[in-house]
Amino acid sequence: MESIESLLVDKTSHFDSIPKQYSFEQLQEMTSTVILPYEEPAPSDLIWYERLQTKFDINKMHQFLEGGSLHDSLETLKLMQQIERDPLLTTNSSYYEYGVESHREITAAKIARLAQYIEQDAPDFQTFQNRLNLIAIVDPQLGTRIGVHLGLFLSAIKGNGTKEQFNYWAVERGAFKIKDIYGCFAMTELAHGSNVARLETTATYNIEKKTFTITTPHIGATKWWIGGAAHSANHTVCFARLISKGHDYGVKTFVVPLRDANHDLLPGIAIGDIGAKMGRDGIDNGWIQFSNVEIPREYMLSKFTSIDDDGEVVDPPLAQLAYGALLGGRVTMTISEEEG
Ligand SMILES: Cc1cc2nc3c(=O)[nH]c(=O)nc-3n(C[C@H](O)[C@H](O)[C@H](O)COP(=O)(O)OP(=O)(O)OC[C@H]3O[C@@H](n4cnc5c(N)ncnc54)[C@H](O)[C@@H]3O)c2cc1C
């Protein structure tokens, strides 16, 4: 049996066997005069050449695919160009070499940039929506992350809250323009995913203080997988069982502040990071536990079910109506899960 050392020596001797009759200068000259039998491929030239061969009208095809007017399809091209040229929003192949920390930092900077675009596009939300549709293609994790705030957090407030509540959180508190409030969507629990009706987090009404106490009764009720919770969100829409005067009224939605103005966790809130994921490291999915967290009565989203000062609960004539409003969130969840 040969020793490792002898094999190594063998290898060295193999290299040693390269003829030594040529000087370094001679070798240099030889290699510089070698003519390759083919031209080195230049992908950008090739693709440009192929595009020139196209037999159909590219602008018309673009318009057809966009499905709108020529004007609209050109607007989409302009938005795309803006994304490509924006040093913060653009992506390149090195993107895939970043670690979790860098992805999180870059995504946060990109969200700040998108907040500037919302301001610029306002009051025309359609342009911003078109921008987001393109972002979701160019940078899916950024699309999902902003989608959690606008599509899950704000949509849940819109779907389950009164007009006044939506106006308060979206406009007065600035969530719509990603100012001051950045939200997440705390529906899923460790022991309850698809079965939303069996969620176990509780929101117990306190008649004297006119507040709710939000509690995670045991580890299985820990909010789990919550996008944006680990680092960025300072508020959440929390799905919890409404308990008043000892009666359980089923799962309703509550806006719960998670972090203060310094971005420190508020008393009673425990949050952790779920960690790295394949392909979506820019999204900070986390877990949340609530230990007797108090929120004002008005933070229960009351479009369908309402509660008065004395803890009297008024459910809609059809309980399904209230669950219907939760569907939007679930559907958006499914779509964003497909993406992220
Ligand atoms: C990347 C990612 C991001 C997420 N972000 C969020 C977030 O921001 N906020 C949030 O609240 N949640 C989030 N979730 C959680 C997500 O909502 C749940 O994963 C989802 O609801 C499914 O729950 P589960 O994982 O517990 O699976 P389960 O409900 O345990 O389901 C496991 C399997 O059983 C099947 N199954 C379940 N019930 C039935 C039934 N009755 N009949 C037949 N088959 C059934 C399911 O189809 C599935 O294949 C995220 C998940 C992922 C993967």
Structure tokens at 337: 């899960």
| pLDDT at site 48 | 80
**222 Cβ inside 6 Å of ligand 1:** no
The CB density around residue 306, as the number of other CB atoms within 10 Å, is 16
**225 Cβ inside 6 Å of ligand 1:** yes
Three-state SS sequence of 131-187: HHHHHHHHCHHHHHHHHHHHHHHHHHHHHHCCHHHHHHHHHHCCHHHCCCCCEEEEC
Q: Whose CA is nearest to atom 36 of ligand 1?
A: 194
The CB density around residue 131, as the number of other CB atoms within 10 Å, is 21
**153 Cβ inside 6 Å of ligand 1:** no
| Contact (CB, 8 A) for 252 and 305 | yes
pTM of the model: 0.81
| Contact (CB, 8 A) for 103 and 281 | yes
Partnered with residue 286 across adjacent β-strands are 226, 273
Cα 300 to its chain centre, rounded Å, is: 25
Q: Please name the amino acid found at residue 178.
A: I
Distance CA 152, CA 63 (A): 31
Can you tell me the mean pLDDT for 127-133?
91
The helix/strand/coil state of 304 is coil
Tens-digit pLDDT profile for residues 34-91: 555 566 778 878 888 888 888 888 888 888 888 888 888 888 999 999 999 999 998 8
Q: Whose CA is nearest to atom 23 of ligand 1?
A: 193
**226 Cβ inside 6 Å of ligand 1:** yes
Phi, psi of 296 (to 5 degrees): -65, 155
Domains of the chain listed by start with CATH number: 175-339 (2.40.110.10)
Distance CA 8, CA 14 (A): 10
**185 Cβ inside 6 Å of ligand 1:** yes
Q: Whose CA is nearest to atom 50 of ligand 1?
A: 225
Distance CA 118, CA 161 (A): 23
- Compute the C-alpha angle 211/212/217, nearest 5°: 155
- Compute the C-alpha angle 211/326/293, nearest 5°: 25
Distance CA 111, CA 52 (A): 37
Query: How far is the centre of ligand 1, averaged over its atoms, from the C-alpha of 257 (Å)?
Result: 24
| pLDDT at site 9 | 36
- End-to-end Cα, the chain, rounded Å: 53
| pLDDT at site 124 | 83
Distance CA 276, CA 289 (A): 20
Tens-digit pLDDT profile for residues 178-232: 989 999 999 999 999 889 999 999 999 999 999 999 999 999 999 999 999 999 9
Query: How far is the centre of ligand 1, averaged over its atoms, from the C-alpha of 9 (Å)?
Result: 58
User: For residue 292, which of 259, 329, 267 has the smallest C-alpha distance?
Assistant: 267
Using left for φ > 0, alpha for ψ between -120 and 50, and beta otherwise, residue 236 falls in beta
Whose tokens are 């009565």? That residue is 297
User: For residue 88, which of 138, 46, 26, 128 has the smallest C-alpha distance?
Assistant: 138
| pLDDT at site 335 | 59
pLDDT over 90 percentage in the chain: 53
Distance CA 282, CA 141 (A): 6
**For residue 280, which atom of ligand 1 is closest to its CA?**
1
Helix axes 140-147, 100-121, angle to 10 degrees: 60
Partnered with residue 273 across adjacent β-strands are 286
In whole numbers, what is the pLDDT of the chain averaged over residues?
85
Q: Which of 238, 337, 338 has most ligand 1 atoms within 8 Å of its beta carbon, as the pocket-test mutant?
A: 337
